[in-house]
Amino acid sequence: MSSDMWLVAGLGNPGSGYEGNRHNTGFMLIDYLVEKFGIPLDKTKFNGVFGKGFLNKNSILLVKPFSYMNMSGLPLRALSDYFNVDVSRIIIAYDDLDLPTGQIRIRKKGGAGGHKGVKSIIETFGTENIGRIKIGIGRPERREQVVSYVLHDFESHEKDIIKSSIEKAAGVVEDIIQKGYTVCMNNFN
């Protein structure tokens, strides 16, 4: 039987060397939620760090998988199984190259769109029906620069934009949990 808990996971790469990288935008959202709701990431299990708490009256699990981006699905699946979280109550947040820097897009389901962390999650769970919050990081000028681009920090002129979009994304998490995806997609997309 599934619990009524929500699992909110931010995708990123572990380690201080990746902290401000574009690819760690999902981790940035989790860090913001930790502060906003006072839910410390104080437990480790299944190659992930997490904290349990409440968002209003809703039980919530905030998660950062520490498996590196391309293997994100394994710790998320293990934690969702351990806590009996139904896949319909999972929200993943991550960077999106195809959106302008700071733009947010919400989806209730969909493909990986070239994102290897999302691909890992879809493969591990065996479904594309996993809710997500995409946070735009823009594209580099030349395609061959993608890996270097996502593994570098935001430029100084982008930092305020990303900070603002992380704050908006936190509101999206609240709205998804309290009002559902349809309302959120109508309001934010």
> So which residues are the catalytic ones?
23
Element (H, E) at 8: strand 6-10
85 contacts 59 by C-beta, under 8 angstroms: no
96 contacts 102 by C-beta, under 8 angstroms: no
The residues near 29 (Cβ < 8 Å, ≥ 6 apart) are 10, 93, 133, 135, 166, 169, 170, 173
Cα–Cα distances in Å, from 118 out to 37, 109, 141, 172?
Answer: 26, 11, 24, 19
How far apart, in Å, do the first and last CA atoms of the chain sit? Answer: 33
| Tokens 């509101």 belong to residue | 171
